[in-house]
Structures are given as C-alpha cells and as structure tokens.
Amino acid sequence: MMTVIDTGEFGLMVTDEPVPHGGTGEGPSPLQAILGALCGCESVTFNRTAAEMDFQYDGIDFEAEFTIDIRGRLGVRGVTQHFQTIRVQATLYTSESEERIRAVVAETEARCPVFNLVSDAGVKLEVLWVHQPSRPAAS
C-alpha cells in the first residue's frame, strides 16, 4: 500500500498504512497527510497574515486528530468515506492581545486554502486556538 509521490522540486513523499491495516508503516496514511497539509497550510497562512498585520509571535504548535466511520471505507452505501470530524488544537505563543489574536486567526481561516477545502467538503472542522505567552524551554 505504500505510495511514493514525486513532488518535483521537493523530492519524494511517501504515504502508507499501518501494518495492521495491510501497509508497511513507512509513512503517514493519506488521511494523516491531509491533516499535515491542513496544519502546514494554517501555519504558512498565519505567518503571512501576521506579517501583514504586524502581529508578533514566537511560533505555533499543532495537534490534530480525525474521526471516520470505517463502514464507509468498507463500501457500506450511504456512509461517508471521508472524515466525519477534524479537530485541531493550535497553541500560539505570543504576547499580543486576545482581540489581535482573534483578528489574525479570523483572517487566516478566511485565506487558508486547505482549511476552506475541508470546510467546503462539509467536514465538521473544529480548530481551537490556545494562547500561551511564551514557548516552553527545550529540555
């Protein structure tokens, strides 16, 4: 089930399935890759938007999870094969005000192509932005 994708200038990308699902476990599943694309796109879009709005921050950490109804992937008619829900927690490290945070987040979500693709597909998408004043020190 492993698939190697030539992404051009960025080299090869691998998607796979876990061993218990018949894969080799050599890479993220295609659904996990979509989560990565969502978080990466949110991050890039936030960065550009923050720069335009002169918003200062030290970074963002993302955690994401999804639910699916496996019956859809098993061919049961009438059951969606794609995500049922996606939940993302974005921990934003900044000393900016809550009002400014809300403004940058709203503009980011309005502009982010992957966020809007998932939303437009009818997937229940919940993104929780958590504000932290500073990034924890590395151990």
CATH assignment at residue 59? 3.30.300.20
Answer with the residue of higher pLDDT: 134 or 95: 95
The label of the residue with tokens 């004043």 reads: 133
Whether 17 is in a domain gets the answer no
Whether 85 is in a domain gets the answer yes
Domain count along the chain: 1
DSSP 2-17: -EEEE-GGG-EEEE--
Answer with the residue of higher pLDDT: 80 or 126: 126
| 123 burial via Cβ count (<10 Å: 0-12, 13-18, 19+) | middle
Instruction: Give pLDDT tens digits for 45-101.
Output: 999 999 999 999 999 999 999 999 989 888 999 998 889 999 999 999 999 999 999
The residue among 42, 47, 45, 82 whose CA lies nearest residue 62 is: 42
Reading the block at residue 11, the tokens are 């080299």
- Residue 78: which domain range? 30-132
Whether 11 is in a domain gets the answer no
Whether 79 is in a domain gets the answer yes
What average pLDDT does this structure show over 21-32?
92
Whether 24 is in a domain gets the answer no
Whether 92 is in a domain gets the answer yes
Angle between helices 30-52 and 113-120 (to 10 degrees): 130
The pTM of the full predicted model, rounded to 2 decimals, is: 0.90
